Amino acid sequence: MPQDTQENGNKKNNLSEANRAIWLVKVPKYLGKLWDKSPSEMEVATIRIQKPAISSEPFKVSLSLTPELMELEPDSPIASEHELKLCKTTEGTNLTGIFSTLDNEEQSIEGWITHKMQCLPVYNTQYLKMKEHYLRSAKPPRRVKPLNHIVKNYKPVSSHAHNKDDCKRKDGPKMLSKDNIMDLLFQAFEKHQYYTLKDLQFITKQSVFVLKAILKDIGDYNKDPAHKKMWELKEEYRHY
C-alpha cells in the first residue's frame, strides 16, 4: 500500500486514492456541453452495470441523464439513454495516472485509467428526434431575394459554334477519288465557262495540288487578258 503523502521537493503529493481505478469515457459533444452548463452540485446522470448471463461476455453499462439535466435545454431534444462501449483495456500495460492540484500547493493522484470507453446514444425515438433537429438546424433557411434588373435567359444549345469549328478543323477536307472530283468539276463548268482555281477549290473542297493535276488533263489555263488566270474545259469536254 502506498503512503498517504509523499514529499516531492517543496510540494506534497496526496496518494490516498492511488489504488482507485478510473474509466476514461469519450462522450458526444452535445453531452459534454450540457455537463459544462450544469452546476457542480447537480446530479447529471445515473450509471447502471448489468451482469451478463454468460461469464465470458463483458458487462453491459448504460448511462441515463437525469431530468434536472434535461431541463437545461428544454427547446432542444436530447437523447437521455446512452450505452458505454469498451474500446480498450489497459490492464497489464503502462497505466496513465490522473492528477489534480489544489491552490498549486498539494498535488493529488485521483487514480489510474484502467478502461477506455465510448458513450453512444441508444437508437430509439428520442435519438431520431434529436438527429432530425440537428440536421434541420444545420441547413441555412431559404430566403427570397428580390431582383432589381431583368435576368437574361439563355436557351440551351446542343453544339456551340466554336465546337463546330473545332470539328471542322479536326475532320479536315475529305479526299475524294479522281472520278468524283471530275464529276464535281463538270457540274460546275455546266453553270459557268470560266473559274478561278480558288473557286474550284471551294466547290470541290480538295487541295490545290490535286486540282491542278486533274485540270491539266481536262482544262485549259487562260492567259487572255479577258479571262486571265482562269480555267475552262478543253474543247473535247465542252457541251455548251
Domain boundaries defined on the chain: 21-137, 178-237
pLDDT-based confidence at residue 1 (cuts at 50, 70, 90)? very low
Cβ neighbours of residue 62 under 8 Å, at least 6 residues apart? 47, 48, 50, 81, 82, 83, 84, 122
Residue with the bigger pLDDT between 187 and 107: it is: 187
Taking a C-beta distance cutoff of 8 angstroms, is the pair 179, 214 a contact? Answer: no
Structure-model confidence comparison of residues 33 and 171, the more confident one: 33
Question: CB–CB of 115/39 below 8 Å?
Answer: no
CB of 34 within 8 A of CB of 129? no
The amino acid sitting at 212 is K
| Residue 120 β-bridge partners | 83
pTM above threshold 0.85: no
pLDDT value of position 169: 62
pLDDT (average), residues 9-29: 79
pLDDT score, position 40: 84
Phi, psi of 13 (to 5 degrees): -110, 125
Asked if the model's pLDDT at residue 41 lies above 80, the reply is: yes
pLDDT band at residue 173, thresholds of 50, 70 and 90?
A: low
Q: What is the CATH number of domain 178-237?
A: 1.10.10.10
Q: How far apart are CA 50 and CA 229, in angstroms?
A: 108
- Report the SS3 class of residue 132: helix
Question: What amino acid is encoded at 182 in this protein?
Answer: M
Distance separating alpha carbons of residues 70 and 67, to the nearest angstrom: 5
Higher pLDDT: 69 or 155? It is: 69
- Give the pLDDT confidence score for residue 121 in this predicted structure: 92
